[in-house]
Chain A
Amino acid sequence: MKTGIYPGCSLNGSARDYNESVFALADAFGLPLEQVSDWNCCGATAAHNLNKNLSLALPARILSLAEQNGMDEIVVPCAACYHRLIVTQNELRKDPELKNQVCEILEMDYKGTSRIINVIEWIDKYIVPDLEGKIVKPFDHKVACYYGCLLVRPHKVLAYDRPEDPQSMDQVMTKIGATSVYYPYKTECCGAGFSISRTDIVSKLSGKIVEDAESRGADAIIVACPMCHSNLDMRRNDINKYWGKSFKIPVIFITQAVGLAIGLSAKNVGLKRHFVEVNIS
């Protein structure tokens, strides 16, 4: 059983804190994580908004490379990439003619056999069973787990957790000592790819999430997506300006929280790179 990783572009750039924490965890638990060789961007929102064939060909190239690498399973820490890869796999599975068309575009073989998992599934499968005894610093805080959109929707295709009030992230957080707060905004949209083109919309939508988490007494918002993180963290000044508030709640990747609980340093899991200061550990 070989598990590979598709980091995606964000983890190589503005979400390098997420990347650092994923690899720090893999190291701490002795989990090999080879990157899909010579991977490309999945095309994200831009491709599926503007060009259907391109939006299938780009993820299909990644999946085909993973097959060449002999990967039975690929961890995809970015929720948006995770969504694009699974949606593509599903489209090509249900339409053989489309699959042939895409293979022709790629000039590559594609079987669609690699299993695609998100970061919470990876933690659940490989880290949770070994967690006991490793926790040296329980994450004893109230947390608002924020799933956003693309980890849980479209439910029929992703078949992960449940689309309303999902629980998987809350369960992992409970296992490392956190208390999760009831939180209706956990699957509301942060504004996603509008960060640059419609910052006003992102400030409005992300502000509602931050406000709800803070007002319910959470000490931190926990995320598993670089886009959610960048909108809630890097855009905090815009959010505060839009709402005329000064929200201070930090936004922490689930991999960072688990890392802290097993004794990794704040620097090691990339916490120093956040815009909103993380004053809990």
Chain B
Amino acid sequence: MSHTETLTEKSTLAYNIEKYVDVISRKCYQCGKCSAGCPVADEMDLPPSMVMRLLQTETALNDEKILRSHSIWLCVTCEMCLGRCPMDIDIPSLMDFLRQKSLKEKKVNPKARNIIAFHKSFLNSIRLTGRLFELGLTLDYKRRSMTLMQDIQLAPRMISRGKLHFIPEIIKGKAHLGKIFKKTK
């Protein structure tokens, strides 16, 4: 049934997206609802409908353009595109796949550096204690992104409202979490 049987080029993004996340990019007929509803489309170099169109061309040049785009990192996974897609194309899952591939192949857009630094600091915090330690996350992020002064004025206001903890909560299964991180690396 699937068009993949006739596909000769097995290395294209479209082929791999269908294989690994079960999303068929050829179903897109460019109605543009995803880009119209996307809250960050105006910040993107390639709005979601454009990513879909480039995938359909199945050329190495366009695949490269997608993996090196800022867009895949700007996607906030609000799921509006999927909610409004008349063909029910799971763009958020496709974006997750593209982000992970871009990271793996070291093709990350330099403008996305801080977004990725935040995600890494976040996961690092969980790996160490099992639960997110917000202060630790912020400090680690500042170190990674060199944004030392950012949000400095928030801290005293958070402290006075009892919203900032200074000691992380460490779960009993901390070693178990460490193992999960290792096994999913």
Contacts and interface: CB of A to CB of B under 8 A. Distances in A.
B58 to A, nearest CB: 23
Interface string A114-153: 0000000000000000000000000000000000011011
Contacts of A53: 183-184
Contacts of A197: 114-115, 117-118, 141, 145
Interface in A60-85: 61
B86 interface: no
Label chain B's interface by main secondary structure: helix
Label chain A's interface by main secondary structure: helix
A189 interface: yes
A163 B37 CA distance: 13
Contacts of A150: 78-79
A91 B164 CA distance: 35
Contact of A189 (B80, B122, B184): B80
Given A40-B130, A47-B123, A234-B154, A54 B184 contact: yes
Interface string B89-120: 01010001101100100000000001111111
Size range of the chain B interface in the assembly: 35 or more
Contact of A192 (B78, B97, B179): B78
Interface string A247-276: 000000000000000000000000011110
A181 interface: no
B96 A49 contact: yes
A175 interface: no
Interface stretch (B4-12, B49-57, B60-68, B155-163): B155-163
A235 B116 CA distance: 21
A14 B158 contact: yes
Contacts of B143: none
Interface string A6-29: 000110111111000000000000
Contacts of A54: 123, 180-181, 184
Given A205-B39, A273-B161, A14 B134 contact: yes
A237 to B, nearest CB: 8
Interface in B152-178: 153-154, 157-158, 161-165, 169, 171-173, 176-177
A47 B122 CA distance: 9
Contacts of A234: 154, 158, 163
A9 B157 CA distance: 20
B132 A9 contact: yes
A274 B77 CA distance: 27
Interface of B: 39-40, 43, 74, 76-80, 82-83, 88, 90, 92, 96-97, 99-100, 103, 114-120, 122-123, 126, 130-132, 134, 138, 141, 145, 150-151, 153-154, 157-158, 161-165, 169, 171-173, 176-177, 179-181, 183-184
